[in-house]
Amino acid sequence: MSRLNLLLLLAVLVSGYHMVRSAYDARRLFTELDRAQTENRRLLADQQRLEAERHAQATNLRVEQVARERLNMRVITPAITQAVDLARPGPAASAAGGASARAGAHP
């Protein structure tokens, strides 16, 4: 009878150990899940902030301002516009051909 009691005691101890271990694992996994969800919320907030910044940078006024300030671009006016007649090659075509041949040589 003492062997049976010893065997039952051993079964109870092993069962208790597994129960405590599974509760510990469940608590650890729940904590990891909570951290992951918090990180996900933080990343989503960052994504929304970055998309708002990108949208603000892509507005027409912002693009025009950057074009003027950084690229020194200006609005097209008839005074600075040159018409090119592609139907008849003339001196402009030969000058363009000479310019492309000299494209590698800069002064």
Q: How many Cβ atoms sit within 10 Å of the Cβ of residue 13?
A: 10
Q: Provide the residue range defining the domain that includes 12.
A: 2-85
Helix H segments across the chain? 2-57, 60-69, 91-101
Q: How many domains does the chain have?
A: 1
- Residue 107 lies inside a defined structural domain of this protein: no
Structure tokens at 9: 């005691």
- Residue 78 lies inside a defined structural domain of this protein: yes
2-30 pLDDT, tens digit each:
999 999 999 999 999 999 999 999 999 99
pTM above 0.85, yes or no: no
- Residue 65 lies inside a defined structural domain of this protein: yes
